[in-house]
Structure 1
Amino acid sequence: MQVKSLSYIDIQHDALGVFEDVEQGTVPQEDVWVSAYQAGESSVHGKMRVSLDGGVEITCRDGVKVERESKANFLVTVPALKMTSRPVHFPRQTVVPPYTKASAVSPELNINALDYSAKAGKLVAGGPDGYAIVLDPARPSEALQLAGHVGDVLDVKWFPSGEVVLTASSDMSLRIYSAVTGVNPRVLRGHSRAITATHILGVGKQVLSAAKDGSVRLWNVGAGKEERAWRLKQAVEALIVIHGEQAALGAETVIVAATTDGSLTGYALEAESHEPLFVSPPTDTKLVSAAYSSTLGLIATGHADGTIVFRRTTNLSKVVAAVRRNEASVYSLAFDGPSLLVGTASGLPARLSIASTPETLDVEVAEEFAGWEAVGVETWAVGDGAWCAGADGVLRRY
């Protein structure tokens, strides 16, 4: 498998604070570092000096050129790495969710999962030790706590109504909550290891879950019980549901389980048989994350060596493109229109553009998202911008 190397930029995470200090006259001038990388090439470590001379001035050196388009948006050019006017964005909004450690040994807040409801205009987030909240980004201090889980909350989803949420945890349970009152009328149990992924079918009468026990389960929400289970030999890290691909995949609705070894296993949701429709070949490195775009007809998988692999739903056994920015594990992926949002173990979130023809798939870096230190970007939520969160417990909107 040929892997295309993509360049990337890392800019001082508190650069906006430097600009603010200079603008307010707190300091007369200060340097901000800007680094650029590409595998096989010498990295570039430049600086921009921010100073006040009738207005804020930027003076660049050491191989980088930076233009400030607006308060939070920059264009970075690095001639040595053939980067020209690469957009770099700092967050439009930063939200710190309410969190109180239960004891001195309790973990710091880490956001494992995030979802946005356009109907409710709210986020649901999951974190350590049963932490789950429904939050209005405009009023984060009024977040609704969802009590019940005793393990880390690893996945969260909004039901289409915008009034109910689904959560999944390492405590091996699924819970359904009112997003208005926090009441928990349903608890679904049956998995024997941590639940890693969920999917809500239709309006939400049925939900799917996948877990590290190697199973995918179909639940009847109204009855509160399991209806079916499909069993695999590997832990399931991600779950994808594809509708309307009868000719290509052999069923109208196909459940795709992405397992640790990098393979994709498809099952027909409506079929009586539990035999898979297909099993794609495993990859060389561990699968960590996955995302699906019905518009593009693509599945992207993120791997522990930093590789992102693309397959078309018309032939999931064939890799059509593979890219890598660096060797940090790809913790999170989410499609947003004709682009892919990427988060890694070392931060560095970005948007990749995707140009697809029947014969080719070209992937490039479209935007870099700054404002992160070197901590994992665990999750994305698309809606009213692109939201991401991770190991520092902060929600950022780009």
Structure 2
Amino acid sequence: MTAAAAAAASSSSPSSSLTKTDAPPSYLLPYATLQPTYHQVYADILESKVAAENVWLSVYADNAPQKSIHATLTLAAKEKNDPSAQDEVQLENIRGQRNLLIKEEKARALSGREGHAVPDLSISTSSSSMVATSPTVAQNSPSLPTSVRLRLPVHTPATLLKGRRSQRAIESGGGGQISAFDVSPDGTKLVAGGEDGECVVAGLPGWIRGEAGEDGENTHSVGIELAVEEKAQRRIRALEKKRLASLRLPLTGHVGDVQAASFLPSSLVLLTASSDLTLRLYSAQDGICPRVFKGHKRAVTSTAILGRGKRIVSASLDGTIRVWDVRAGKSVRMIGCRGWSGVECLRVLKLNGAATSSEAQEEEGLGDYLAIAGLSSGYVQVFLLRITQDTTTQTPAQNSQEEDDEASVKPVTVTDWPLLEIAPRSWPTLPEGQSQPGASDFWKVEPSTGAVWSLDIVERSSPPSSSSAVAAPESGDAAHSARSSLDLVTGSKTGIVRLFRLELGSRATASDISNGDAQEGEEDSGAPLSLASREVLNFRRNTASIHALRFLTSEGRASSPPDAVVATGDGTPFRLTFKSTSSGTVSHGEQEERLEPSVKEEYTGWEAGEPVHGIGVINAGMEGERILLAGAEGMVRVY
């Protein structure tokens, strides 16, 4: 099916390919904010710059008659003669409301870095209602799940972007907004992009990765106790700063806002996309740009890497998804999305199977992929991409030089099939049998969940080593009964997050479309796979837009999705977890558990209203995961 035909078919038949789902439960979650300068106040007291200072803490819930709880905390130096004092700063809740409970957690190790160990905070309320609440039901007061953790940043690199257009940045001396962000697979570098083509690669200190080495990096992670004199430590830190400064590399060439940036698996090359309608490949070592890809008609918003980087995928506000051959430097396929609606975000997931698992095909980026696009219209559209290589028309290369020559590049064929469309819905979900709010209901129904600005997808119950690849069902009746399960989470411009369960299976006949849920009269798309969806739940905290979502695949569980980090437009990024409450729904012969969302961690240090756009994750060994968040003022914070 051609791109134009696919788009036209979708536009003319709005119900085409939609999977029928029951109304999912809706939730409204509370959220907490801590004074952004908390860690600075803590450090000032440790350094005896001030004796004591007050800071504020607040908890909000939009469906409570009293929408907020506020507490004022005091930080003060402990008495030196107190033998029971393990920490140097005393935290006290001196003024608060409705039994807001606060305690310090154990300070994290700081070997190999400057600054002080500022303990995270654990907060909860004494209310007996400790679960997520329905937006349709008022609660007497805001309540939190037991022990929400307020994470303090352990490292904040210097401002990465200057901000060429931001008047606020000029006036405050801060930086520009980071709109594109990624961390290299080896954890040594990050890339940040923003307005007017500003883009930079910077280094990360080794202690963040939990490494121990000659630069005095974190020895705690390997269980080694090393005593180093303070003078030597200062020298080591100075050398580390110098080494990282050498990795600070500007990337030039874009003349529009940088919308996406990602490293290739080698960590030596990165791909960027911009509102100037182009994509660029850069060397992460010297900043040279060997390839520029042109073809999109509007801003390029998202990119994806296939295999080891010889094929890439891009999405644009022109309503298309394009597959590119990197060595040839050209587009090999264009896919039109539903009604040519702009593509705001894109994820591509590899499907593993017997025919696509060889090392050579992984190198070439061949095989089957799911491309999941979030659209400006509020729809989510899923395509199957099959990328094959034509070996019949090529003349065998005479020597190794010819093998590297662009003229000898073997052409690829890209075939695409539309598998699924997920429509926007009103929020919150109305009770069964109710089409409008009742006269006594205080809540408001959103006409639509709004444009899909972010999404992520992961295989259910996948081990960490294979979290990015799903087993593609084999053809045949026996294999047709086996299904692969995936979790899809989407975030919207209006702050609504939706969680879906997807079932991927082989299609033996035309009657198998969407697992038998296709609309009457729908024609078989010819896709070798079927995909069915069920919306598990949806929720909102407030109206702040959801700029980025990231599943933490090391947290995968058999019965529920892994935790996810959510970056918001109001400076309140958080870690989302799912609690299993009851079972009941039966799908494809399996017992399904009902899930409730809750906030596990809040990432503090951002000013109110500051957007957070980027999420990075680094495995720090025994110290667990490091979460990196990037956003306003050109800042990156490490947690």
TM-score (norm 1): 0.92
More relative contact order, 1 or 2 (CA 8 Å, 6+ apart): 2
CA distance in 2, matches of 1:348, 1:120: 25
- Between the two proteins, what is the percent identity of the paired residues? 33
CA distance in 2, matches of 1:316, 1:309: 16
User: Which one of 54, 57, 71 corresponds to residue 31 of structure 1?
Assistant: 54
Equivalent residue number for residue 2 of structure 1: 25
Amino acid across the alignment from 2:90: E
Contact kept in structure 1, 2:566 and 2:576, CA below 8 Å: yes
Contact kept in structure 2, 1:131 and 1:153, CA below 8 Å: yes
1:351 matches 2:384: no
- For residue 306 of structure 1, report the CA deviation from its aligned partner: 1.4
- For residue 241 of structure 1, report the CA deviation from its aligned partner: 1.7
Equivalent residue number for residue 369 of structure 1: 603
Contact kept in structure 2, 1:387 and 1:396, CA below 8 Å: yes
Amino acid across the alignment from 2:383: Y
The SS at the match of 1:22 is: helix
After superposition, the C-alpha distances for 1:231-286 in whole angstroms (9 at most, x for unaligned) are 1221101112233389xxxx942212211122121222118665522222234122
Contact kept in structure 2, 1:195 and 1:210, CA below 8 Å: yes
Equivalent residue number for residue 280 of structure 1: 422
Equivalent residue number for residue 57 of structure 1: 90
Q: 1:98 to 1:346 in 2, by over 3 A?
A: closer
Equivalent residue number for residue 378 of structure 1: 613
Contact kept in structure 2, 1:340 and 1:354, CA below 8 Å: no
CA distance in 2, matches of 1:355, 1:26: 44
Q: 1:316 to 1:340 in 2, by over 3 A?
A: farther
Bigger drift between 297-306 and 209-218 goes to 297-306
After superposition, the C-alpha distances for 1:86-126 in whole angstroms (9 at most, x for unaligned) are 21111111112444455897974111111112326111121
CA RMSD of aligned residues (A): 2.3
TM-score (norm 2): 0.58
After superposition, the C-alpha distances for 1:368-393 in whole angstroms (9 at most, x for unaligned) are 11111020011111224111111221
User: Which one of 232, 236, 239 corresponds to residue 343 of structure 2?
Assistant: 236
CA distance in 1, matches of 2:384, 2:300: 21
Tell me, which stretches of 5 or more residues in structure 2 are unaligned?
Answer: 1-23, 80-87, 108-117, 128-142, 206-240, 354-366, 388-413, 426-447, 462-485, 504-530, 554-561, 581-590, 620-625
Equivalent residue number for residue 233 of structure 2: none
- For residue 82 of structure 1, report the CA deviation from its aligned partner: 4.5
After superposition, the C-alpha distances for 1:280-335 in whole angstroms (9 at most, x for unaligned) are 22341222211122345211111122111011221654311112122211111111
Amino acid across the alignment from 1:235: G
Amino acid across the alignment from 1:278: L
Equivalent residue number for residue 492 of structure 2: 303
Tell me, which stretches of 5 or more residues in structure 1 are unaligned?
Answer: none
Amino acid across the alignment from 1:128: E
Bigger drift between 107-116 and 183-192 goes to 107-116
Q: 1:47 to 1:266 in 2, by over 3 A?
A: same
Q: How does 1:1-398 map to 2 (within 5 A)?
A: 1-41=24-64, 42=66, 43-54=68-79, 55-60=88-93, 61-63=95-97, 64-69=100-105, 70=107, 71-80=118-127, 81-100=143-162, 108-119=175-186, 121-138=188-205, 139=241, 140-142=244-246, 143-232=248-337, 233-244=340-351, 252-270=368-386, 274-283=416-425, 284-286=448-450, 287-295=452-460, 297-314=486-503, 317-337=533-553, 338-355=562-579, 358-374=592-608, 375-384=610-619, 385-398=626-639
Contact kept in structure 2, 1:115 and 1:382, CA below 8 Å: no
The structure with the largest helix share of the pair is 2
CA distance in 2, matches of 1:83, 1:242: 33
Amino acid across the alignment from 2:375: T
- For residue 30 of structure 1, report the CA deviation from its aligned partner: 1.4
Amino acid across the alignment from 1:76: I
Contact kept in structure 2, 1:238 and 1:290, CA below 8 Å: yes
Amino acid across the alignment from 1:62: G
